[in-house]
A and B are shown apart, each in its own frame.
Chain A
């Protein structure tokens, strides 16, 4: 289907992953090209106009909820804010569910393992004060607060997790998002569970499994660098171990 001329101009050749008894495969669709079209627009067109049985997931359409992530031409992305013009210069799109996660159906990945790992990485804030205490005063210019800022805007989309080879090599690996969450809490001076958290992220399935491929950092749509947080956790764990605090 190379340059077939005017007939195909204005049409996108779209291959979408459909699950099935046989393990699934790609199905082809033709979708009209539109100005300012996003990949999510393309998937929605297919579901509304061509194939109502197609399963996919989205909510906010503006890059806040993190539910629309898929693999687009091999690369994990948030589809609601990925313009077709950016990823399909030749008019071809290959859309599949996120990698490294079981598939519920078609483009819908099962996120349970991903979020369970946030819990396993002590991703909950552990406060030491009550509502009767005064507000904590955290200097916005302190180094720790700046480190929190750099990682706090995570929307939980799973793009990093789906891009990480170490997750594929070691299914128990907590992964970039959970470790980034642990790092922001580690830098939170109000948090009272620091030793437990470092224990949770140390070891084989934790920060030391990371090989600094930086695929997570390369792909994160929020321009977070989980690799930086993981490197910070490696240093923190090493320091704590030296001081005998682990």
Chain B
């Protein structure tokens, strides 16, 4: 990578000898970075769930009987638990996404960290509300 960078700045008076060092993991330990990790992980997990969701919809098209079997399978406590996780993911991603949109589109204030905390709290509240309503 450093070779590419050096060539873009002119190799003629090259003084650099060493490759660039990578950002240390210890530098990433702060609230906004954790918020990013949660957002990315939840975003990818939700994307992975989509094919399953479409498959479930296909079952409905395939006929009432097959949908019935499928819906009975979802009564399984394990599936219920997985659903709760899914709602947590969506709530986390949604509130994280709203936090980002607020940061970028509202006039900047110094409440970024409170916003991250609020987003996490909101996610939890939504997930718990769903869990209790099961």
* A interface list, Cβ under 8 A from B: 17, 19, 23-24, 71, 73-76, 96-105, 110, 112-113, 116, 162-165, 168, 171, 211-215, 217-219, 225, 227-228, 231-232, 234-235
Report the minimal beta-carbon distance from A151 to chain B, rounded to whole angstroms. Answer: 11
In whole angstroms, what is the CA distance A218 to B31 when docked? Answer: 9
Cβ of B64 within 8 Å of any chain A Cβ, yes or no, is no
Contact status B4-A24, CB under 8 Å: no
* B interface list, Cβ under 8 A from A: 1-2, 4-6, 8-9, 15-28, 30, 32-33, 36, 100, 103-105, 108, 112
Q: What is the count of residue pairs linking A and B with beta-carbon distances less than 8 angstroms?
A: 108
Contact status B19-A213, CB under 8 Å: no
Known contacts: A113-B9, A116-B9, A231-B108. The answer to whether A103 contacts B17 by CB under 8 A is yes
**Which A residues touch B25, using CB under 8 A?**
74
- The residue on A at minimum CB distance from B24 is A74
In whole angstroms, what is the CA distance A19 to B17 when docked? Answer: 8
List 30 A-B pairs, Cβ < 8 Å.
A19-B18, A71-B21, A73-B26, A99-B21, A100-B22, A101-B20, A102-B20, A103-B17, A104-B16, A113-B8, A168-B23, A171-B1, A211-B36, A212-B100, A213-B33, A213-B36, A214-B30, A214-B33, A215-B28, A215-B30, A215-B32, A218-B33, A219-B27, A225-B108, A227-B103, A231-B103, A231-B104, A231-B105, A232-B108, A234-B104
**Which A residues touch B23, using CB under 8 A?**
99-100, 162-165, 168, 215
**Which A residues touch B20, using CB under 8 A?**
99-103
**Which B residues touch A218, using CB under 8 A?**
30, 32-33
Contact status B5-A215, CB under 8 Å: no
Contact status A96-B21, CB under 8 Å: yes
Contact status A75-B26, CB under 8 Å: yes
**Which A residues touch B9, using CB under 8 A?**
112-113, 116
Known contacts: A73-B26, A211-B36, A212-B103. The answer to whether A23 contacts B108 by CB under 8 A is no
**Which A residues touch B4, using CB under 8 A?**
171
**Which B residues touch A101, using CB under 8 A?**
20
**Which B residues touch A17, using CB under 8 A?**
21
Contact status B33-A215, CB under 8 Å: yes
Contact status A214-B6, CB under 8 Å: no
